[in-house]
């Protein structure tokens, strides 16, 4: 006797049609796709801004824009990429789509709040773009909005900062939703330690989203208040301390980078077992390390401030804590590699992105340690070394994991398969382009080229040219990837329930899933979520 | 033969425990929101200890104490309203909630008088007298207005939430077997009280 | 008196706090408030109200509100644990930030 769910013949796409059915949906899968289209659009805007920056930097002096505009371009590039892309991308898209399915339930705990989160995201995003067209143009402070300049500049800091505040709310509500969902809606028999590691990653991330974001929220409100009332909260001329702003800003923004990277690591932990056809090595270690990274990550923020004027004792404390937080990350990398050892490796596109992630995250992580060493940081703070470091972890790490996730879950979401050959070509171009773009930055930084500078000394030009060319190769790969996926969306061949041989719950259901996620009762293995028989 | 199955847990079914957990998680964000301000207060009090003491004398300890008692009373009344609802005494519950709202209004009226007095003395950021003050005192008054202002905003929101609960009671949507909304409103209200419990001594009682 | 628990589909018996207990809690809180004000206003001759004393009394009041009015004492442990973690987090933020200022010349 088989059991089926009512109304499971139709996919979640087919149950209702039209624009209104999308923007008033309570279905986590549709909300995930609403985020997907919005986030990818903002990402492309961010890419264009980056492309323009690299064009400007291909030669010293003015190339295509005035210095003041350059400041605005890199500020908006950072604001969009960080608040509109990297922070929400994996939780809001794959978290929303797959968290309930992987847990064996039909939706998140608060579906209406989920839709509200999306509306807040859109509102914040549009506000950020508004700064482009009103008043004196986008903020020119850098995405970090350091006082006192952020208080004094005439550009649209207030709007940009309010946009970030609203986006923060979106993030908080998503985190809240996920935490309650994980605690309350797991399928009977799925204990915490039988959840997939992607869920563990989202759980740890959600706690950071919940607890760290309010602090930047209030800090940004203080900037608005300072601009409005002219009091010297952070203005040294009237007794304020600009370093206090930096403390408050980084108390959120450092944990924010773990919001960025933990879900990405969760995706890696999903893809590797499937394409090694082996159970994950060290499940508990990976689960605990996610929590450890989240916890210790709250206490390292001062490493962004080593040269700010902070006291020596504080610098030492923060440097030690920074080294500590590298340990749980390293544990994950070792466990992933151990999983692959003697596995039956299948180099499909998702796996390629995973391998690139491991390579690039390694470079990003190690350069992070270098930044965290006090003596070294004095020389490389605010140089291109830092720019290279964070692009390696955020782009080479999180974004590549995102692309890997797209190639992994595309057949499940849309029920169609993409052209693997073109996916591979796109990957190769992106991998080469990415490293040609960012590796030279590590060298440039050590050579002494400062970041956020519109102009530079002639000896820095050759590597800048290399980097700019790398950006073109990268963008070409990005375009091919996007075109390939759009083609698959239109006329890809049907994918079936489980094209990759995965064993987590999403692979048991139809592709695309029905509205209530499952067409028959999910079957859990007593050996845990990665039971490859 | 095929039978239909239903997923045992659903995000679309009412779950009081989820609702309560969600409210607590939201309260944690409020704790950290105000926490950031308390951090700023802590640092500037450390840097400008004498100025903070001087400025604090401008505040009216009597009104502050009355407001503290008013909020504590309101916490009691809202807690009692939940007891009443649990016992099935809907009328008493509604009255206690309305009492809580009245307490909120008293608090806000007192605040209004306090702030008016400050404006008359030109103590609001940007005003004449304010501008002549030393740095530490200016920071004190800015933090005073910002933190008590943000708190007052939460008093208003909390009061509105409670009013919403009263309406829900009138529509029989909150009852003896379904009162999570009231509990959550109560939790939010207690948070408002908690914040004031710290604001009061830190601003009014520095000597 | 029961609540609806979606997870197990069962009705649970709920712990009802009596009016008297709420009133007693209230009285306790008022007494603590009076204590705080008295010490601060009249205590210059007796002892100075340092930040520590003020914060201790305030924290006592806060714990009382949380445990009794907010029902944490009677709720599943996980809520107390979560609240504890949040407070610990805030305290560490405060301490680490203060370290910077204490160590500056």
A475 in any annotated domain:
yes
Is C50 a residue whose pLDDT tops 80? no
Q: Left, alpha or beta for A373 (phi > 0: left; psi -120 to 50: alpha)?
A: beta
Q: Is cis: bond before B30, omega within 30 of 0?
A: no
A447 in any annotated domain:
yes
**Cα–Cα distance, A198 to A93 (Å, whole number):** 13
User: What three-state secondary structure class fits A68?
Assistant: helix
| Token couple for B206 | 């520095």
DSSP 8-state symbol, A529:
T
Phi, psi of A171 (to 5 degrees): -65, -45
pLDDT, tens digit, 9 for 90 and up, residues C21-34:
999 999 999 999 99
User: SS3 sequence, C6-73?
Assistant: CCCCEEEECCCCCHHHHHHHHHHHHHHHHHHHHHHHHCCCCCCCCHHHHHHHHHHHHHHHHHHHCCHH
Task: Report which secondary-structure segment, H or E, holds A485.
Answer: helix A461-491
| Residue contact A211–C101, C-beta within 8 A | no
Clarify whether residues C48 and C90 are in a common domain: no
End-to-end CA distance of chain B: 81
| Token couple for C11 | 């009705």
- Name the pairing type of β-strands B2-5 and A493-494: unpaired
Is C4 a residue whose pLDDT tops 60? no
Q: Please state at what angle helix B90-120 crosses helix B180-204, rounded to 10 degrees.
A: 30
Q: Nearest to residue A226, comparing CAs of B113, B189, B145, B97?
A: B145
Whole-model pTM?
0.95
The Cα-based distances of A463 to A58, A108, A388, A431 in angstroms read 9, 48, 13, 18
A465 in any annotated domain:
yes
Q: Indicate the average pLDDT of chain A.
A: 95
Clarify whether residues C70 and C82 are in a common domain: no
In this complex, the residue of B1, B12, B40 whose CB is nearest that of residue A244 is: B40
- Name the pairing type of β-strands B2-5 and C2-5: unpaired
Is A16 a residue whose pLDDT tops 80? yes
Please state the rounded mean pLDDT for residues A293-303. 96
Residues of B in Cβ contact (< 8 Å) with C7: 9, 15, 17
Clarify whether residues C8 and C27 are in a common domain: yes
User: What three-state secondary structure class fits A310?
Assistant: coil
Which domains are present in chain B? 29-204 (1.20.120.80)
Please state the rounded mean pLDDT for residues A254-258. 97
Q: Which of A351-365, B102-116, B120-134 has the lowest mean pLDDT?
A: B120-134
What pLDDT score does C100 carry?
Answer: 95
pLDDT, tens digit, 9 for 90 and up, residues B158-171:
999 999 999 999 99
Domain that holds residue C99: 76-105
- Name the pairing type of β-strands C2-5 and C10-13: antiparallel
Clarify whether residues C69 and C87 are in a common domain: no
Higher pLDDT, A37 or A155: A37
Chain B contact probe: residue of A120, A170, A185 with most B CBs at under 10 A: A185
The Cα-based distances of B163 to A335, A523, B98, B186 in angstroms read 54, 46, 8, 12
Task: Report which secondary-structure segment, H or E, holds C2.
Answer: strand C2-5
DSSP 8-state symbol, A298:
G
What pLDDT score does B107 carry?
Answer: 97
Q: How far is A236 from chain C (nearest CA, A)?
A: 15
Clarify whether residues C14 and C64 are in a common domain: yes
Strands (E), chain B: 2-5
Q: How far is C93 from chain B (nearest CA, A)?
A: 8
DSSP 8-state symbol, A241:
-
Task: Give just the sign of the alpha carbon dihedral B164, B170, B171, B176.
Answer: positive
Clarify whether residues C66 and C80 are in a common domain: no
Confidence bin at C51 (pLDDT 50/70/90): confident
Q: How far is C79 from chain B (nearest CA, A)?
A: 8
Is A505 a residue whose pLDDT tops 50? yes
Count of structural domains within chain A = 1
Query: Can you list the pairs that A111-116 forms with residues at least 24 positions away whose Cβ atoms lie under 8 Å?
Result: A111/A26, A111/A27, A111/A28, A111/B11, A111/B12, A112/A26, A113/A173, A113/A176, A113/A177, A113/B22, A114/A26, A114/A28, A114/A31, A114/A173, A114/A174, A114/A177, A115/A24, A115/A25, A115/A26, A115/A31, A116/A173
A527 in any annotated domain:
no
- Name the pairing type of β-strands A416-417 and A493-494: antiparallel
Domain that holds residue A301: 26-508
Residues of B in Cβ contact (< 8 Å) with A105: 7, 9-11
Q: What is the dihedral of CA C27, C29, C30, C31, to 10 degrees?
A: 90
pLDDT, tens digit, 9 for 90 and up, residues A415-467:
999 999 999 999 999 999 999 999 999 999 999 999 999 999 999 999 999 99
In this complex, the residue of B21, B178, B187 whose CB is nearest that of residue C70 is: B187
Residues of C in Cβ contact (< 8 Å) with B85: none
Count of structural domains within chain C = 2
Q: Which of A387-391, B33-37, B67-71, B123-127 has the lowest mean pLDDT?
A: B123-127
**Cα–Cα distance, A529 to A525 (Å, whole number):** 7
Q: Is cis: bond before B47, omega within 30 of 0?
A: no
pLDDT, tens digit, 9 for 90 and up, residues A105-114:
999 999 999 9
Chain B partners (3+ C-beta pairs within 8 A): A, C
Q: Which residue has the tokens 């500049």?
A: A153
Please state the rounded mean pLDDT for residues A476-493. 97
**Cα–Cα distance, A62 to A154 (Å, whole number):** 23
**Cα–Cα distance, C32 to C38 (Å, whole number):** 10
What CATH number corresponds to the domain at position A83? 1.20.210.10
Clarify whether residues C64 and C16 are in a common domain: yes
What pLDDT score does A2 carry?
Answer: 45
Clarify whether residues C11 and C38 are in a common domain: yes
Chain C contact probe: residue of A175, A253, A314 with most C CBs at under 10 A: A314
Confidence bin at B2 (pLDDT 50/70/90): low
pLDDT, tens digit, 9 for 90 and up, residues A82-122:
999 999 999 999 999 999 999 999 999 999 999 999 999 99
Per cent of chain A over pLDDT 90 is 91
Q: How far is B20 from chain A (nearest CA, A)?
A: 10
A8 in any annotated domain:
no
A333 in any annotated domain:
yes
Confidence bin at A1 (pLDDT 50/70/90): very low
What pLDDT score does C9 carry?
Answer: 45
A372 in any annotated domain:
yes
A526 in any annotated domain:
no
User: SS3 sequence, A162-220?
Assistant: HHHHHHHHHHHHHHHHHHHHHHHCCCCCCCHHHCCHHHHHHHHHHHHHHHHHHHHHHHH
Total count of residues recorded for chain B: 207
Contacts of B112 (CB under 8 A, 6+ apart): none
| Token couple for A205 | 């991330």
Is A199 a residue whose pLDDT tops 70? yes
Clarify whether residues C36 and C25 are in a common domain: yes
């Amino acid at each position: 006797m088989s059991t089926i769910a009512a109304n499971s013949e139709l996919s979640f796409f087919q149950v209702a049609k039209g624009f209104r059915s999308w923007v008033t949906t309570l279905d986590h899968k549709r909300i995930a796709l609403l985020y997907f289209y919005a986030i990818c659009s903002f990402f492309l805007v961010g890419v264009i801004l980056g492309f323009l920056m690299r064009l400007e930097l291909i030669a010293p002096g003015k190339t295509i824009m005035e210095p003041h505009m350059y400041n605005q371009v890199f500020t908006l590039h950072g604001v969009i990429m960080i608040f509109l892309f990297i922070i929400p991308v994996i939780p809001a898209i794959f978290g929303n789509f797959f968290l309930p399915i992987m847990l064996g339930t039909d939706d998140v705990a608060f579906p209406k709040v989920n839709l509200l989160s999306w509306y807040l995201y859109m509102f914040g995003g549009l506000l950020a773009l508004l700064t482009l067209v009103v008043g004196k143009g986008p903020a020119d402070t850098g995405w970090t909005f350091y006082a006192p300049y952020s208080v004094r500049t005439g550009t649209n800091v207030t709007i940009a900062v309010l946009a970030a505040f609203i986006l923060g709310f979106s993030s908080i509500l998503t985190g809240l939703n996920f935490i309650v969902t994980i605690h309350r809606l797991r399928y009977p028999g799925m204990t915490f330690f039988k959840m997939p590691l992607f869920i563990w990653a989202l759980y740890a991330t959600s706690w950071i989203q919940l607890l760290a974001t309010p602090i930047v929220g209030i800090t940004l409100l203080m900037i608005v208040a300072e601009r409005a009332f002219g009091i010297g909260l952070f203005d040294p001329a009237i007794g304020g301390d600009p370093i206090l702003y930096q403390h408050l800003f980084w108390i959120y923004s450092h944990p924010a980078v773990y919001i960025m990277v933990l879900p990405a690591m969760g995706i890696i932990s999903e893809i590797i077992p499937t394409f090694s056809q082996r159970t994950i090595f060290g499940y508990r270690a990976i689960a605990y390390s996610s929590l450890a990274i989240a916890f210790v990550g709250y206490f390292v923020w001062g490493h962004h401030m080593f040269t700010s004027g902070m006291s020596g004792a504080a610098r030492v404390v923060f440097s030690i804590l920074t080294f500590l937080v590298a340990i749980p990350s390293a544990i994950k990398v070792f466990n992933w590699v151990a999983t692959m050892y003697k596995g039956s490796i299948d180099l499909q596109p998702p796996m390629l992105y995973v391998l690139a992630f491991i390579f690039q995250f390694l470079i990003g992580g190690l350069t992070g340690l270098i930044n965290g060493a006090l003596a070294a940081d004095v020389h490389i703070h605010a140089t291109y070394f830092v720019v290279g470091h964070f692009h390696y972890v955020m782009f080479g790490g999180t974004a590549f994991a995102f692309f890997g996730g797209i190639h992994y879950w595309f057949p499940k979401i849309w029920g169609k398969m993409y052209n693997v050959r073109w996916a591979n070509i796109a990957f190769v171009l992106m991998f080469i382009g990415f490293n040609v773009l960012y590796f030279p930055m590590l060298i440039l930084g050590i050579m002494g080229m400062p970041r956020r500078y519109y102009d530079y000394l002639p000896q820095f030009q050759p590597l800048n040219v290399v980097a700019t060319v790398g950006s073109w190769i990268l963008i070409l790969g990005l375009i091919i990837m996007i075109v390939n996926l759009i083609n698959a969306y239109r006329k890809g061949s049907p994918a079936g329930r489980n094209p990759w041989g995965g064993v987590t719950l999403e692979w048991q259901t139809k592709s695309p899933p029905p509205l209530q996620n499952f067409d028959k009762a999910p079957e859990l293995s007593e050996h845990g979520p990665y039971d490859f028989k | 033969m095929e039978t239909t199955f239903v997923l045992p847990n659903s995000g679309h079914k009412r779950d009081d425990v989820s609702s309560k957990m969600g409210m607590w998680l939201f309260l944690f964000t409020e704790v950290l929101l105000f926490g950031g301000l308390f951090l700023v207060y802590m640092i500037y009090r450390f840097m400008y200890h004498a100025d903070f003491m001087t400025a604090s004398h401008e505040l009216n300890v009597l009104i502050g104490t009355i407001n503290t008692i008013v909020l504590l009373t309101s916490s009691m009344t809202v807690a009692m309203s939940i007891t009443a609802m649990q016992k099935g005494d809907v009328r008493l519950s509604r009255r206690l909630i309305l009492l809580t709202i009245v307490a909120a209004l008293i608090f806000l009226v007192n605040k209004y008088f306090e702030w008016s007095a400050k404006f008359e003395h030109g103590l609001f950021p940007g005003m004449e007298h304010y501008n002549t003050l030393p740095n530490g005192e200016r920071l004190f008054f800015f933090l005073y207005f910002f933190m008590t202002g943000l708190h007052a905003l939460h008093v208003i929101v909390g009061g509105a939430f409670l009013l919403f609960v009263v309406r829900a009671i009138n529509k029989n949507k909150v009852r003896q077997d379904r009162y999570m909304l009231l509990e959550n409103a109560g939790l939010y209200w207690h948070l408002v009280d908690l914040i004031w419990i710290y604001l009061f001594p830190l601003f009014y009682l520095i000597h | 008196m029961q609540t609806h628990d979606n997870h197990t589909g069962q009705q649970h018996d709920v712990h009802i706090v009596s009016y008297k207990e709420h009133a007693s809690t209230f009285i306790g809180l008022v007494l603590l408030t009076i204590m705080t004000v008295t010490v601060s206003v009249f205590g210059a001759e007796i002892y100075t109200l340092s930040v520590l004393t003020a914060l201790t009394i305030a924290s006592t009041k806060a714990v009382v509100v949380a445990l009794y009015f907010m029902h944490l004492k009677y709720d599943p442990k996980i809520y107390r644990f979560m609240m504890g973690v949040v407070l610990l987090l805030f305290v560490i933020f405060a301490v680490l930030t203060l370290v910077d200022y204490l160590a500056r010349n």
